[in-house]
Amino acid sequence: MPSILVLHGPNLNTLGKREPEHYGSETLDDVNNRLMEKGEKWGCHVDTFQSNIEGELINQIHASMGKYDAIIMNPGAYTHYSYAIFDAIQAVSVPVIEVHISNVHTREPFRHTSVIAPACKGQIVGFGTKSYDLALEAVREWIEGV
């Protein structure tokens, strides 16, 4: 059974409360439960992890080798300046999809640049929490060879 790791970066634990005009009203538990249910229906195991601490996210990326077939990651604000996360992604052979709930390209200028994106297989932005679902679907298609 394929395994997928979903990583949520800083402040994503506040989903449902923080700036609902950008991030919606779903909680992180809502998102995680939906992804785990979809994964189960598709025959994939989905694990989730959230941290406000950069090093903990890096540790999860490092530990993914040999354990996960793909990572779906919303790095939050680390997107714009964490070369350490970029290096961690480069160091493992696990494909990563970068996900953002809001359309970062229509927001403040500092959000327009991702230093993580060049290390990722792809990026999905702007579809609300459904961005995670689209990433999960993309991973499923890779695994199934579609």
pLDDT band (50, 70, 90) for residue 44: very high
d(CA 24, CA 140): 25
Catalytic annotation on 81?
A: no
The arithmetic mean of pLDDT across residues 12-30, rounded, is 83
What does the pLDDT look like over 108-140, one tens digit per residue? 676 667 899 999 999 999 999 999 999 999 999
What does the pLDDT look like over 49-83, one tens digit per residue? 999 999 999 999 999 999 999 999 999 999 999 99
Q: Could you tell me if 91 and 62 are in contact, meaning their C-beta atoms sit under 8 angstroms apart?
A: yes
Domain edges within the chain: 3-144
For residue 100, count other CB atoms closer than 10 A to its CB: 23
Q: In CATH, which of 2.70.180.20, 3.40.50.9100, 3.40.50.300, 2.60.130.10 is domain 3-144?
A: 3.40.50.9100
- Segment 62-65 long-range contacts (CB within 8 Å, at least 24 positions apart): 62/88, 62/91, 62/92, 64/5, 64/92, 64/94, 65/92, 65/93, 65/94
Catalytic annotation on 132?
A: no
> pTM of whole model > 0.75?
yes
The arithmetic mean of pLDDT across residues 32-52, rounded, is 97
Beta strands in the chain (DSSP E): 3-8, 45-50, 70-74, 96-100, 122-125
pLDDT averaged over every residue in the chain: 92
For residue 21, count other CB atoms closer than 10 A to its CB: 6
- Determine which one of 8, 68, 100, 132 is catalytic: 100
- The two beta strands, 96-100 and 45-50, are unpaired
- Determine which one of 23, 68, 78, 132 is catalytic: 23
d(CA 80, CA 9): 12
- CA atoms within a 13 Å half-sphere pointing along the CA-CB vector of 6: 27
